Structure 1
Amino acid sequence: MPNLKRNNKLTTMKFQQAVLLTVCLAATVAMEGCAVPRTPPQFPDAASASPAGGTFVNVANLRNVKAGLNKDQLYDLIGPPQFHEWFVGNHVWNYLFDFRRGDQVVSCQYQVQFDKNMRVSATYWRDPQCAEFVREAAAPAAAATPAGNETKAAPIEQFTIEGEALFPFAKSGLDSMLPGGRAQLDAAMARIRAQADTTRIDVVGHTDRIGSDESNRALSQARAQTVKRYLVAHGIDAGRIRADGVGPAQPVSDCPPGETPAVIACLQKDRRVTISVYGRN
């Protein structure tokens, strides 16, 4: 009998805990309001952001937020929402981003809305003028070219080489380059040499979203530098080549979340090296 009473007591306690958890979850949803898209958008009180006061965002990543991204892709670009909207079912994520204007820090509320398939359908700024902070990020690149050596707005030649064609998995060295990738690079160099007025060549390495941002950026940078060394070794002026790695920051695929073999195959387009050739006006 004592054991039976003890078992009944444990069962009652577990039931009470389950009821309490259900009530707490229901209260949370009631307080946070399982957010749904509204037009015009409704923004939460900025004082309720976590972390308080907002956070500085990677502007280059923010510029890549487009309609059609799923929640995993959005998370990879700009992180989780900052207004307790992380639970399943929310169709709205809100952010409080900080930007620098001279010596001042300006905070801006940003909202992302999702459609019924949980893909980005629209984005909004509480203050429309905040969009200028994102547009301004592209200006320095255009102004960086010395006077008298301006480049066209668009490249005169552009090449994309798939990562798997160029390097084995996780490799980036010159001695590990695959024959198929070398052949594509040789064909690209022939086209580049045919351009008489080339002023700049941008080599950019890219990765997919799988793995840490730090390791992906390092791998993409190493591969871009290897491609640059290959071009220089075959007669392309090193002073005209810029090599950079952006990791997973500029995806071109539209793949579901997860890391299954099917998803990894879908992400192949993101694992690439691009070569953009610019010339005089």
Structure 2
Amino acid sequence: MKNQRVLAMFSSFVAAVMLGGCATAESPPTFPDPQSTTLTGGTFVNVDNLRNVGPGLTKDQMYDLLGPPHFHEWFVGAHVWNYLFDFRRGNEVVTCQYQVQFDSHMKVSGTYWRDPSCAGFIEPTTLTTSAPVESGTAPVEQFTLQSDTLFSFDKSSLDSMLPEGKATLDKAIERIKTREGVNEITVVGYTDRIGSAAVNERLSLARANTVRAYLIAHGLDGSVIRTEGVGSSQPISHCPDGTSRAVIACLQSDRRVSIVVVKG
């Protein structure tokens, strides 16, 4: 009799879990309280794995990429998995909530960030290269590198350069070395609008000078390399006012270093 009672209670528990797990995923999504996570804080995610997440993946594939969900959604039949991921922005750690939704066949139907600006953390670090244009009789090539991947937050020294930024800068250097007859390279530092004009100008010039030193150390001719720091005077973003985390993320494109190469 006792065994039957235990079996009945267990069956009721399983049924409740299954019913709860079969709830339809919501769009727009509803995110759980981050304090209810099974973790102590977030966890640093493999960004390359996160970039491979997309519609049609099975739960097994998701488990291989990201591991189990970070909230109480491990039960069979759950249509939603939630995660709490940490990312590093300079010396700051930013925690983001991420949700994966599954369709009736338990394949990924969509992914969502609680804070949409968090999507920027998984964008590949790219070296933006403009097409050569004519400046008088000399072709010009321009490389643009994001300061957030080049330097730690609010830093400008060679020691504060980040590994990912150095790797991106190395690609620019290798490309420049393939060009013959380079007679001028201009490195320009830019900042976003946050902070005073004087501080931003100093920071932008210091970063440009550090990049110049890096170029020289890696084999480029220092006699043809000059630097400028223009601070926040040449923004390219269109962001709202304020200094919230979302605005700072929006201003990322303003925080940059450009390298302009002129061939004679």
- TM-score, normalised via structure 1 length: 0.45
1 or 2, which has the higher helix percentage?
A: 1
- TM-score, normalised via structure 2 length: 0.48
1 or 2, which has the higher strand percentage?
A: 2
